[in-house]
């Protein structure tokens, strides 16, 4: 899996979207920031913690801008680059947009990694951008203590197709497009306890572009979209609930998990980020009595390049889910409903 005896993951204290600051810490950091100037063209800013910023140029075109980067979640440098790039592109797709250009963000510990390893990271990222049909048009690099890679991405969208994490409506159904368990797999990988088959499954999921978001946004019965990343299914579901002022009910038996996620979680392969996530937003979640701690950890498991959480008209849910599956997302599942009520997430 690695081109040298030195493991990339050994150079980082955390990896993938598990590196994200906990939601509670992020709220504290942003609490005293000055309010954004009231620009009429800024359709989406920081107000609901959405996936990307959106600026409306005219009545036909919006520009979507985002940035995402993290430390290695795997040791193979090319795989690391591919995962990081797919994760960054996901923010544009989650807003309903189509990426047009990326800039690379690179921080590497000079003297610890051979040039060839860093080159493979960049090649991996460029290969995912090529698959998305866009160039890596530039970037910036620094000498850093830990390896860091990601992208700043620009995309386009028509104003009517912008989809936010605040768009869910009472009566909607919830669809999740990818399986949960990337954080659990990464924890097992770091301890050399992940099988080759599970590793291949993890790479397949994390490098699968969320391009279906651009297609979904053209459907008027799709009301809200967000991608499930570092805050886990519960955290990003809670953003959807709070953004729209609605109640989300998720049926745990319908949540798709990666093949070995439940077994590994029950065996103790859980990231520290899972606990930090729960500590940050557990007061906004209702769990069934007696839910095992390991199963709760799966629901807060940080997803690196995770799937899309989609709120759509209930009557269309199965046809939309089927379309998503046919587009290349075999684990796409209807996992719950949206209703009036206190903005919380309830697990049943």
Give every CB contact of residue 142 below 8 A, 6+ residues apart in sequence.
106, 107
CATH class of 172-347: alpha beta
Reported as a single tens digit per residue, the pLDDT across 37-84 is: 667 798 888 777 888 999 999 999 999 999 999 999 999 999 999 999
Given the residues 17, 62, 129, 157, select the one marked as catalytic: 17
Reported as a single tens digit per residue, the pLDDT across 177-235 is: 999 999 999 999 999 999 999 999 999 999 999 999 999 999 999 999 999 999 999 99
Average pLDDT, rounded, for the chain = 92
Per-residue pLDDT at 17: 52
Report residue 10's pLDDT band, with 50, 70 and 90 as the boundaries. Answer: confident
Question: Where in the sequence of the chain do the CATH 3.90.650.10 domains occur?
Answer: 172-347
Q: How far is CA 235 from the centre of its chain?
A: 11
Q: Report d(CA 240, CA 226) in Å as an integer.
A: 8
Known active-site residue 157: no
- pTM score over 0.85: yes
Reported as a single tens digit per residue, the pLDDT across 316-333 is: 999 999 999 999 999 999
Per-residue pLDDT at 45: 83
Question: Where in the sequence of the chain do the CATH 3.30.1330.10 domains occur?
Answer: 8-161
Architecture of domain 8-161: 2-Layer Sandwich (3.30)
Contact 85, 120 (CB under 8 A): no
User: Residue by residue, what is the 3-state secondary structure of the chain?
Assistant: CCCCCCCHHHHCCCCHHHHCCCHHHHHHHHHCCCCCCCCCCEEECCCCCCCCEEEECCCCCEEEEEEEEECCCCCCHHHHHHHHHHHHHHHHHHCCCEEEEEEEEEEECECCECHHHHHHHHHHHHHHHHHHCCCEEEEEEEECCCCEEEEEEEEEECHHHCCCCCCCCCCEEEEECCCECHHHHHHHHHCCCCCHHHHHHHHHHHCCCCCHHHHHCCCCCEEEEEECCCCHHHHHHHHHHHHHCCEEEECHHHCCECCCHHHHHHCCCCCHHHHHHHHHHHHHEECCCCCCHHHHHHHCCCCCCCCEEEEEEHHHHHHHHHHHHHCCCCCCEEEEEEECCCCCEEEC
Give every CB contact of residue 277 below 8 A, 6+ residues apart in sequence.
22, 23, 230, 231, 232, 234, 235, 300, 302
Mean pLDDT of 140-160: 95
């Amino acid at each position: 899996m690695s081109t040298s005896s030195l493991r990339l993951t050994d150079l980082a204290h955390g990896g993938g979207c598990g590196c994200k600051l906990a939601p509670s810490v992020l709220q504290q950091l942003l609490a005293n920031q000055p309010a954004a100037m009231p620009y009429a063209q800024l359709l989406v800013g920081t107000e609901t913690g959405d996936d990307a910023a959106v600026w409306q140029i005219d009545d036909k075109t919006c520009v979507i801008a985002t940035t995402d980067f993290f430390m290695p979640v795997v040791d193979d440098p090319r795989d690391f680059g591919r995962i990081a790039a797919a994760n960054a592109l996901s923010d544009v797709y989650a807003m309903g947009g189509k990426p047009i250009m990326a800039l690379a963000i690179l921080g590497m510990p000079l003297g610890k990694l051979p040039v060839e390893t860093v080159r493979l990271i960049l090649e991996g990222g460029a290969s995912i951008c090529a698959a998305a049909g866009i160039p890596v048009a530039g970037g910036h690099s620094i000498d850093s203590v830990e390896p860091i890679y990601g992208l700043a991405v620009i995309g386009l969208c028509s104003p009517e197709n912008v989809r936010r994490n605040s768009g869910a409506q009472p009566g909607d159904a919830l669809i999740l497009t990818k399986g949960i368990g990337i954080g659990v797999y990464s924890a097992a990988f770091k301890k050399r306890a992940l099988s080759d088959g599970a590793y291949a499954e993890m790479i397949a999921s994390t490098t699968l572009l969320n391009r279906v978001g651009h297609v979904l946004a053209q459907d008027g019965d799709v009301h809200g979209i967000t991608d499930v990343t570092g805050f886990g299914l519960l955290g990003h579901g809670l953003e959807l609930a709070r953004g729209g002022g609605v109640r989300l009910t998720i049926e745990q038996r319908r949540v798709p998990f990666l093949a070995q996620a439940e077994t590994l979680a029950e065996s103790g392969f859980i990231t520290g980020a899972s606990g930090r996530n729960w500590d940050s937003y557990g007061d906004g979640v209702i769990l069934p009595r007696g839910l095992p701690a390991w199963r709760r950890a799966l629901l807060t498991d940080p997803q690196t390049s995770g799937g899309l959480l989609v709120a759509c008209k209930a009557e269309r849910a199965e046809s939309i889910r089927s379309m998503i599956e046919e587009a290349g997302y075999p684990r796409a599942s209807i996992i719950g409903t949206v209703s009036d009520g206190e903005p919380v997430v309830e697990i049943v």
